[in-house]
Structure 1
Amino acid sequence: MHAPSLACLLSLAGSYVTVLGQESGDLEIEVILSVTCDRKTHKGDVISCNYNGTFTNGTEFDSSYGEGSDGPFSFNLGAGEVIEGKLTIPPRLGYGDETVGPIPPNSTLIFYTELVGIEGVS
């Protein structure tokens, strides 16, 4: 299920990132591991990311890791293939009162993401 997407975190190219939704409706981004990278992402780049999506209780609802997954999620940055708003975690900024796949209405979501690569960049 790649509906919850990763585009707004990709400006942190080369980093592991945790995004935590706050009950107040604020968005908090915490860099877990910062990696120095000479090349940052640009509009039009093909980006590959691993991610793990969980509810606040730790229950996983989607992941690109492990058996049965499709592996890293790839998309064209800035091409409208990924909806940035889907990454914002508080319900009012995410799916709101809608059910999306295994995600029930009014869910606060947590995404752990890892930028795997930029196509054509070593």
Structure 2
Amino acid sequence: MASPVLRTPPAPSSLACEHFAQLLAFETDCWDTHFAISNDRQDFVLLDVRAEALFQQGHLPGAVNIPHKRLNQQSLAAYDTNTVFVVYCAGPHCNGADKAALAISQLGRPVKKMIGGVTGWLDEGFSLLTD
């Protein structure tokens, strides 16, 4: 009898390759984001989509705060239409980054979600900044 893990067999390698390649087109992680910021290779706008009060309590270095409910053409007008946004929220228990990514993509702009959010950032041992 198969384990619970293999009761549903793994996808064929060709499908797995397609799936994971697509997944990486939508997501990045805390380590890659930290590396880009720390090595002067930040070629994206890091967008904290939590409430302003939470942003003030602590946010990622270089992040801009636009709560996901305020994302619209006007709030992004200062950025070129080709600007890539990397959005994050509180963490895996929060879907604010998903809502933000949806709003940004509906505006026709490129976006990725940083998985883990603030919780993941702290779990990796990285620090937050306060204003």
Instruction: Confirm or deny a common fold (TM above 0.5).
Output: no
Find the structure with the greater CA-based Rg. Answer: 2
Structure with bigger strand share is 1
TM-score by length of 2: 0.25
Compare relative contact order (CA 8 Å, sep 6+) and give the higher one, 1 or 2. 1
Larger relative helix fraction: 2
